[in-house]
Amino acid sequence: MKKTTSFAMFFGAIYFLSATLALGQPAATASLLLPIDALEAALFTKPRVDSAERAARAFADLERKAWSKARAQARSLEKNARYADYGYWIQGQAALREGEQRLSGGVAKAAEVLRLADDARRLFRQVEFSNPYSPLIKNLQKDIGLADILAGRAQLLLAKWPAALRGFELGFQRLGSAALSELPAEVVGGYGSACQKTVSNLCRPWSFRLSSAFVKGTEEAKVLNKFFPDLANRSRPPGYDVKTRAYRAPDLDLAAFNAAMDSYWSRDYGKTVEAFQKFLDEFPKSVYRFRARYWLAQALKNDGDVERAQVVLSNLQIDSPLTYYGLLASHESGIGLERGIGVTLPLGSVSDAQLLPLEQVRLQRAEELLRVGGGALAVLELRDLNPRGALSAPFLAYLLMLNHRAGNHLGAFRIINDLLARGYEGLPSSYVLKVIFPTPFMELVEKYSREQDLDPLLVISLIKQESSFGWDAVSGSGALGLMQLMPATAFETMPGVGRLELQKAEANMKVGTRYLKQLMNRFKGNIILSLAGYNAGPNAVDRWLKQIPADRSATEMVESIPYRETREYVAAIIRNHYWYSKRTGAPVRGLEYFWNTTTVKKTED
């Protein structure tokens, strides 16, 4: 059986790729370098692909909950070599979502729900066999797991307890630990009810696993404790911390930078100048190079060499207008950063010889979907097409445009960071500014900023940094949504808010702005400290303030933040605020706007 499956998938892959190349010219055949806006215009002058258009329409019907229309449109794709995977997947999603909706019909609808769950599982399993290149394969286990759970809930309505338990437990296993925390209270309660009706040796271990997925006090946790009351008194076994004995030395450039900063804090400015100049000579491409140039200029000024300091700052501003340190240089010179933004747009290329077969297929489908307004499906094709060293900068510039048009902001930001690190010529431009600082959800930002008396440009600058505008983003640590709220923090801020609500843009923003306002009140309006508290926690900021001299300036305070992630986070939001002010025509704020100097003393007291 395994050999048959492998051969079927192999020949399916060959057939799919052959059909793809036959039905349209692959992107890798072109190599002409053109301005990125010209490539964008050329993309939309190409003929529309009928199968891509049908896939986009079917998905739009799915999102509108027009289940029958979505299924009919998607069914027409089953025999299409290019988009059969979308045909099966959209039909499966329609069956799954309609089944969840029909659960409210009770026992009378249970048999129909069970049929829809079976249909969903069958259709999802067809996706991989129809197209082994499909980006939909990545989440198939989760999709099938949700269909298993749907079947379990239908069996529960029919009072078939063992079958209900099997459906729930198969689904839980397929979802995995991360997705368990996304389960609604109704599913948790259904499983608890099934466990009370029949004997299963898995009920107890699954209840333990579910309890670790939900924050105490949430609706899901309350429902779980209702059916498994012993969970509240469950004692955790002692853990054993097995630590590695292997230690890695810090990066040489970081060690050299820190040594130079130690000299600066000691006010030995002559030694600081020498240390930073040596750093820049030895590590010209270090990720800390712009940071080092800024502090070299500060040391030069403090050492009396103002003229040379101005030259360093002027060059820094020109070379890195999109960085925080370029912004600091601009504040000191009084010359706007627009001076470093070029009129000429970066050049791009639609081809790259280093593209893998899978990347080639997905790139072409993304182009076809974008031409027919299927941006949401294009994001699925593009999300794993990440920058890597083998891919040329001109091709990455083209990929940047595709991600921007699809609304995949996180993908666009990753590519920009890669191109910035390469020093790609023409990147600082009006086009790229639009890509780096988009304004989605602006109406919601303004609404909830007004409610909390917050600066809306501060809020959108924070959202850009937190989630790259991914309303459904989930971090590795479990932070959720646009403003990346930890469930426990969200529940403390707004008791009763559910995890699923936090993955909806409006609810997330309502809670997130309220939490930011609480931090602003705690730190007496000091934005730098509030942002640091948002990222690292307010208690960590209180500890830092006891260790950092109170007479340090705003820039010195940011530089003194001991956590690299938090330091770069605060700096990036200040940078974001500048460019969003420019984009929206709002007044540009100086650093004093972010730094209330009375806060440090009051917090220390």
The whole model's pTM is what? 0.83
Strand, helix or coil for residue 456: helix
pLDDT at 220: 86
Domain boundaries, the chain: 46-232, 252-336, 347-427, 442-604
- What pLDDT was estimated at residue 249? 56
Residue 605 pLDDT exceeds 60: no
Residues with a known catalytic role: 466
User: What mean pLDDT comes out for the span 486-509?
Assistant: 90
Span 108-133, average pLDDT:
97
Query: How confident is the model over 553-570, as a mean pLDDT?
Result: 95
Helix/strand/coil for 246: coil
Q: Give the 3-state DSSP-derived string for 68-124, with helices as H, strands as E and coil as C.
A: HHHHHHHHCCCCCCCCHHHHHHHHHHHHHHHHHHHHHHCHHHHHHHHHHHHHHHHHH
Model confidence at 398: pLDDT above 80: yes
Average pLDDT, the chain: 89
> With 90 as the cut, is the pLDDT of residue 243 above it?
no
Q: Which amino acid is at 586?
A: A
Percent of the chain with pLDDT over 90: 75
Q: Tell me how far apart the alpha carbons of residues 548 and 561 are, in angstroms, rounded to a whole number.
A: 9
Q: What per-residue confidence (pLDDT) applies to 507? A: 96
Tell me what percent of the residues of the chain surpass a pLDDT of 70.
90
Least-confidence region, from 158-172, 201-215, 564-578: 201-215
DSSP bridge partners of 480: 474, 485
Per-residue 3-state assignment (H helix, E strand, C coil) for 213-239: CCCCCCHHHHHHHHHCHHHHHCCCCCC
Average pLDDT over residues 324-330: 95
Which CATH number, 3.10.150.10, 3.30.450.20, 1.25.40.10, 3.40.50.880, labels domain 252-336? 1.25.40.10
Residue 457: the pLDDT is 98
- pLDDT band at residue 6 under the 50/70/90 scheme: very low
Task: Provide the pLDDT confidence category of residue 230 given band limits of 50, 70 and 90.
Answer: confident
The whole-number pLDDT of residue 3 equals 41
pLDDT of 360 reads 96
Q: Based on the number of CB atoms within 10 Å of its own CB, is 220 exposed (0-12), middle (13-18) or buried (19 or more)? A: buried
pLDDT tens sequence across 344-388: 888 999 999 999 999 999 999 999 999 999 999 999 999 999 999
pLDDT at residue number 13 = 43
Cα separation, 226 vs 69, whole angstroms: 41
Average pLDDT for residues 156-177, to the nearest whole number? 96
Compare 7 and 416 and report the one with higher pLDDT: 416
- Residue type at 492 in one-letter notation: E
Res 54: pLDDT: 97
Helices of type H across 334-408: 357-371, 375-382, 393-406
Beta bridge partners of 361: none
Residue 112 has pLDDT above 80, yes or no: yes
Residue 567 CA: distances (Å) to CA of 249, 470, 489: 22, 22, 21
* Contact criterion met (CB below 8 Å) for 175 and 142: yes
pLDDT digits (tens, 9 = 90+) for 514-526: 999 999 999 999 9
Q: Which CATH number fits domain 442-604: 3.40.640.10, 3.30.70.1290, 1.10.530.10, 1.10.10.10?
A: 1.10.530.10
pLDDT tier at 32, thresholds 50, 70, 90: confident
Q: Which residue has the higher pLDDT, 299 or 434?
A: 299
Closest C-alpha among 363, 367, 580 to residue 469: 580
At 238 the pLDDT is 53
- The Cα 524–Cα 603 span in angstroms is 9
pLDDT given for residue 494 in this prediction? 94
Q: Whole-angstrom Cα distance, residue 433 to residue 416?
A: 10
Which tens digit of pLDDT belongs to each residue from 47-67?
Answer: 999 999 999 999 999 999 999
Predicted pLDDT of residue 217: 76
Instruction: Tell whether the model's pLDDT for residue 538 goes beyond 80.
Output: yes
